[in-house]
Amino acid sequence: MKIDPGWPALSSEKAAELAAEGKANVSPSSASKTTKQIWLSNLFTFYNMLNLVLAVLVITTGSYRNMLFMGVVISNFLIGTIQELRAKKTVDSLSVLTAPTARVIRDGKEVVLPCRELVLGDVVLIGAGDQITADATVLNGEARLNESLITGESDAVLKASGDKLFSGSFVISGEAAVVLTAVGAESYAEKLTAEAKKLGTAKSVLKTTIMNIIKTVTVFIVPMGVLTFYNHFAERGLSYADSMIPTVAAMVGMIPDGLYLLTSMSFAVGVVRLAQKRTLTQQLYSLESLARADVLCLDKTGTITSGRMKIKGTVSFCGDDIGALAAEIYTAVPADNATAKAIAEAFGSRNPIEKTARSILPFSSAYKYVAADFGDEGCYMLGAPEFVTGGKFPEIAAKAAEYSADGTRVLALCAGKFDGKLYKAEKPLGFILIEDEIRPNVAETFEYFRKNDVAIKVISGDNPAAVSAIAKKAGVPGAENFADASALSDEELSAAAGKTVVFGRVSPEQKRVIIKALQSGGHTVAMTGDGVNDVLALKDADCSVAMASGAQAASHAAQLVLLDSDFSAMPEVVLEGRRVINNIQRAASIFLVKTIYTFALTAVLLFLPFAYPFAPIQLTLIGVVASGLPGIFLALEPNFNRVPKHFMSTVLKRAIAGAATIFGGVMAVLIIGGKLGLPAEEVSTICTVFTGGASLMTLLCACLPLNKFKAVLICVCTAIFSGAISLFGEIFMLVPLSGTGRTILLCILPFILVQLFLRNSRFGKE
């Protein structure tokens, strides 16, 4: 667009002054946490504060060694915080590559600046695909905008000179110069950003399940602690110290504090790993959503194909120079998409004289053609044959279908007229034939998804036969099963969503219909796209993936952005999500074993004449060697198995087998020890050794089938536990066993093997 010297464009000096006055387009809030917020959010958690209170209670007893659990709490806090800071640094550095930019007039010249550097009064040039990041008024030109985030209506709205634009909308077609009237916190940006986040938040089974576990434990942990102290102090008449130590031990055992570290660290590591593979993760739990997806919807252009168009040829019906006439249209209509640029590149030199158009219609995915009315010099329309002709020339549609059979895109050029409201075709002049370049390696990518039972749906605005042909070449399973969405009602389209593989002539609103129909059928839907016509569907999908080379609006709406715009990178993203989910699932079961058996013991011992057999330092030792240390390493291990659908039931099946074994063994020791008059210190020692051994067996069961890494990990943890109880027994409040005590221990230890049988039974089978 030509720069008009009459526009109120700013100088660099004036822009700097306005920025210094706080009139820059800087958002007061950020999509990601600040460094301070990360430190504080990891520090001031409910369980950290609860552990701190428990540590103070231990101090009042004078048994300082039982505060060892605070070392684990501090380690968890540091490791989780450092990993999250590392992930933030990585994401922030990559976000610069996808941050929205704007073409702005400064010092009389067009320059490209990050949108955050715009100031009040800047003159900005907008075109198709641009996100409007500040409120503005149109100075010159025309553009059609989607304002669905503001009005809820997805219809294209024409904006001309004097019309207002609002932040959060995006340009569908056309080109205009606008002057910014409200920036930063003064615009709609903050409200719209919050709305966009609400609409586009990744759905997480993992997050929901873990939060439910934590909420459930939180409800019971404090009252159970109070009852345990009352039971020991008031009912049994034990001293304050002898009552408080087992109370703190019971509460420490019930706290699933490792789940915080495990989850945050696993996802943070996943974010960093994907960043190394040139994938920007804009929402943490989108990794999980993509790994769980069983339907992948994708556009043809920019996904299956590279988005680069090449003119294959022309077909003239009347001897006219079809290429020159098409280029003539684009002397008036902005060449703001790949098709237009291909035409301008191939035919622009044939028609160097620019004509003045009385009216133009820029391309929109809603009506799928462009038009320009040059008055007495002619009126021309160019686009999808059935849309340009309006069904008036069926023989033209039939001819176009012949050329589309091998995947060729066909554009029809017609002479027409403009009545002030509508363009109407009067005479077909010919075809322009275009071919799309299929991306390398897409066949392997589709084969990967086929093997992993992920259904592929190709959703495109192009001719369905042409899209089907290209999808076949690319290796999309069932690509011959296609439908023309323009001929279907919303109800018919919803019914066809589960059965049809390729949809052509799909409008942006119809993409949403397909996504929602699939979700209503119980599917987890991922969507990839790169154009403004994909934005609404990207927001509705369970997981959205954008190509960085596409429209800014698409990258802004998506949860994941492929920075190299390479669809063949998708399997690696899925595998990383699987690694994260599977490792969290496996390690979560190890952490929950302690929570379950501690809760069960605490509850049962409220009604039995036995003291709680553990001290906090003993449970800390068991927790470190059986869940804390191995959980950290297992979270980093490659684990690319398919994700089980039922996270909670899978975790509980793994955890309950181990917890039941430990609970049964400890209760047996308490009963037998009580009958034989064994001292409480020996009972505690036997319970600690048995529980540690059984917890290590739980770890072994969780690691099956073994590999070298997991075998070494289990051996190291076992060696640490064995060394601690044999060399530092006094520190961990363990005492030498009498003959009776040794006999009980030798008799009870084999029961740790029960888990191996439970693992393969109906109770514990995965």
Partnered with residue 406 across adjacent β-strands are none
CB neighbour class for 643 (10 Å; exposed up to 12, middle 13-18, buried from 19): buried
As a whole number of angstroms, the distance between CA 264 and CA 588 comes to: 12
Q: Three-class SS string for 23-92?
A: CECCCCCCCCCCHHHHHHHHHCCHHHHHHHHHHHHHHHHCCHHHHCHHHHHHHHHHHHHHHHHHHHHHHH
Q: Which one of 299, 530, 534, 566 is the catalytic residue?
A: 299
CA 158, CA 333: separation in Å to the nearest integer?
15
* Whether residue 436 lies in the annotated active site: no
Cβ-based neighbours of 422, under 8 Å, separated by 6 or more: none
Q: Could you give the angle at which helices 240-254 and 205-230 cross, rounded to 10 degrees?
A: 170
Q: Residue 55 corresponds to which amino acid?
A: A
Beta bridge partners of 170: 131, 146
Q: Name the residue type at position 559.
A: Q
Distance from chain centroid for Cα 519: 17
Rounded Cα distance, 523 and 725, in Å: 51
Beta strands 123-127 and 379-383 are unpaired
Q: Is it true that the peptide bond before 256 is cis, omega within 30 degrees of 0?
A: no
The span from the CA of 676 to the CA of 612, in Å, is 18
Question: CB-based burial of residue 707 (10 Å sphere; 0-12 exposed, 13-18 middle, 19+ buried)?
Answer: exposed
Report d(CA 766, CA 764) in Å as an integer.
6
Dist. CA 695–CA 703, nearest whole Å:
12
User: Which residues, 6 or more positions from 624, have their beta carbon under 8 angstroms from its beta carbon?
Assistant: 72, 720
Q: Which long-range contacts (CB under 8 A, 24 or more apart) does 763-766 make?
A: 763/653, 763/656, 763/657, 763/660, 764/653, 764/654, 764/656, 764/657, 765/653, 766/644, 766/650, 766/653, 766/654
Nearest to 113 by CA among 251, 216, 10, 4: 10
Separation between Cα atoms, residue 528 and residue 532, nearest integer Å: 12
By annotation, the residues acting in catalysis are 299
